[in-house]
Amino acid sequence: MDSVDLEVLKSSARWLEDGHRALLVTVVKTWGSSPRPEGAMLAVRDDGHVVGSVSGGCIEDDLIERVRQRGIEQTHPEAVKYGITAEEAHRFGLPCGGTIQLVLEPLTPASAIAELCHAVENGRLLARELDMATGAVRLDDAQATDGVHFDGQRLLTIHGPRYRMLVIGAGQLSRYLCHIAVGLDYQVTVCDPREEYTEEWDVPGTKLVRTMPDDTVLDMKLDERCAVIALTHDPKLDDLALMEALKTPAFYVGALGSRRNNQARRERLKEFDLNDAELARLHGPVGIYIGSRTPPEIAVSILAEVTAAKNGVSLPTLLQVEGAKAAREIAASGGAACGV
C-alpha cells in the first residue's frame, strides 16, 4: 500500500509517460478549519481523472470541471484561494470561516516527478523546490523537521517518510500492521532474529533486519519522530527492544500483551535500571479498545493509538485497553450484584 502522496506522484509520472498532461495541486496554506493539511496533494489528468485530495470533495469537483471545460491551459504555476467569503465556504464544502490556498502546477517531464518517485520509493527524504515564475524544479535532500513553505515566489514541499517505525516481530499481526503503516507514510523496519518468521516476510515498502532488537534500537538512533512496537509475545525479544527504546526520545513505545503480562513486563523492566518516568512512557496493553480480536482489527487498534500520539492527542482512559476493560469488569460486577 502506497502512502497518499506517493500514489499522487506515481500516477502523475505515469500519466506524463503515457503522453497526458497533468495538473498537480498542493495545499500551501489554510485559515480556520480545513479538511486537509498543508502539503496535501491532488493530481488532475487532462481528461478529468483525479488521484488524491485537497478538500472534502467540492474543490476537487470544481478543479475537475475547470480542466474538463478548458483543458490544462496554463504553462506556469499559479496560486488560487477558495472559501474567502462565507458564500464560497458554503459552496465548496469548507467548514465555516475556512479558507484554503492552493498552488496549481502544470506538469511536464522537466517537473522531475519521475525522479522524485524513484527517490521516495527508495526511502529517501527529499525537498522539492518549485519556482513560481518559471516552473523550474530543484530536488535536494531534506530534514525530517522541514515542512511546507510558500512565499509567493517559491514553493518548497517535503516528500518521503518523515516518521520511522520499528516493529519487533515478523508474525501475522506485524504483516497487517506494516501494510497500514506504510500507507500512513512511515519508514518501517521489522526486526526479528527468528529465521522461521523472517523467511516468508514479503511486505512491500518495509526493511527486514535479523539482528537482536536491542542492537537494532541502538543502531537506528531513534528520535522524536520514531515509534517502536513490540509484537512477539517473547520477553527475550520484546524486553530487549523496550529497555533501550524507553530511554530514547521516541514519541511512542508500546508492547502487545494482556494486562497481567503488561504488569509482569513492567516488573521485569525495572531490573534493567529503567526509572519510573521511563516506564510510564510504555503503552501497554498496546492499542485503543475497539473490541478487536483478529490480527487486522488489532493492527487498526494499535495504529489508532500511535496516530493519536503522533498528533499530540491524549486519549481518555476509557479508550485505552486497560482502562476500558477495567471499566467493563466493574460494570459487569455491579450489574450482577443488582440482579441485572
CATH number for the domain spanning 265: value is 3.40.50.720
In a domain, 236, yes or no: yes
51-55, 81-85, 324-328: which range is least confident on average? 324-328
Assess whether 118 and 254 both reside in one domain.
Answer: no
Assess whether 134 and 174 both reside in one domain.
Answer: no
Assess whether 247 and 309 both reside in one domain.
Answer: yes
Statement: residue 196 has pLDDT above 70: yes
Tell me the per-residue pLDDT of 22-39, one tens digit each, with 9 for 90 and over. Answer: 999 999 998 776 667 889
| Average pLDDT score over residue span 261-274 | 88
Whole-number Å distance between alpha carbons of 190 and 175: 10
Statement: residue 173 has pLDDT above 70: yes
In a domain, 94, yes or no: yes
Please, what's the b/e burial string for 32-50 (b: 16 or more CB within 10 A of its CB; e: otherwise)?
eebbbebebbbbbbbeeeb
In a domain, 332, yes or no: no
Whole-number Å distance between alpha carbons of 239 and 234: 8
Instruction: Name the band, by pLDDT with cuts 50, 70 and 90, for residue 183.
Output: confident
DSSP structural state of residue 139: E
Residue 190 belongs to what domain range?
Answer: 163-323
Q: Where are the alpha helices (DSSP H) in the chain?
A: 4-17, 58-70, 86-91, 113-121, 172-183, 195-198, 213-220, 235-245, 259-270, 276-280, 295-310, 321-337
Domain final position from 159, 189, 222: 159
Cis peptide upstream of residue 77 (ω within 30 degrees of 0)? no
Is the pLDDT higher at 30 or at 107?
107
Domain final position from 102, 133, 159: 159
pLDDT at site 93? 60
Assess whether 155 and 175 both reside in one domain.
Answer: no
In a domain, 336, yes or no: no
Tell me the per-residue pLDDT of 5-16, one tens digit each, with 9 for 90 and over. Answer: 889 999 999 999
Assess whether 80 and 189 both reside in one domain.
Answer: no
Residue 207 has, within 13 A of its CA and on its CB side, a CA count of 15
Instruction: Name the band, by pLDDT with cuts 50, 70 and 90, for residue 125.
Output: confident
In a domain, 331, yes or no: no
| Average pLDDT score over residue span 158-186 | 93
Assess whether 201 and 286 both reside in one domain.
Answer: yes
Closest CA to 233 of 202, 194, 180, 203: 194
Statement: residue 96 has pLDDT above 70: no
pLDDT at site 339? 39
Assess whether 236 and 301 both reside in one domain.
Answer: yes
Statement: residue 217 has pLDDT above 60: yes
Please, what's the b/e burial string for 142-151 (b: 16 or more CB within 10 A of its CB; e: otherwise)?
bebeeebebe
Find all residues with CB under 8 Å of 203, minimum gap 6, and list them: 175, 178, 179, 182, 188, 190
Tell me the per-residue pLDDT of 40-73, one tens digit each, with 9 for 90 and over. Answer: 999 999 999 999 988 867 788 889 998 998 889 8
In a domain, 46, yes or no: yes
pLDDT at site 318? 66
The average confidence (pLDDT) of the chain is 88
Whole-number Å distance between alpha carbons of 54 and 44: 11
Assess whether 126 and 189 both reside in one domain.
Answer: no
Q: Checking phi first, is residue 121 left (phi over 0); if not, alpha (psi -120 to 50) or beta? A: alpha
Assess whether 308 and 240 both reside in one domain.
Answer: yes
Statement: residue 205 has pLDDT above 90: no
Assess whether 173 and 146 both reside in one domain.
Answer: no
pLDDT at site 36? 76
Assess whether 63 and 176 both reside in one domain.
Answer: no
Is the pLDDT higher at 23 or at 274?
23
| Average pLDDT score over residue span 205-231 | 95
Assess whether 110 and 154 both reside in one domain.
Answer: yes
Total domain count, the chain: 2
Cross-strand partners of 156: 129, 149
In a domain, 309, yes or no: yes
Does this model's pTM top 0.85? My answer is no
pLDDT at site 336? 46
Domain final position from 159, 182, 198: 159
In a domain, 340, yes or no: no
Whole-number Å distance between alpha carbons of 51 and 176: 24
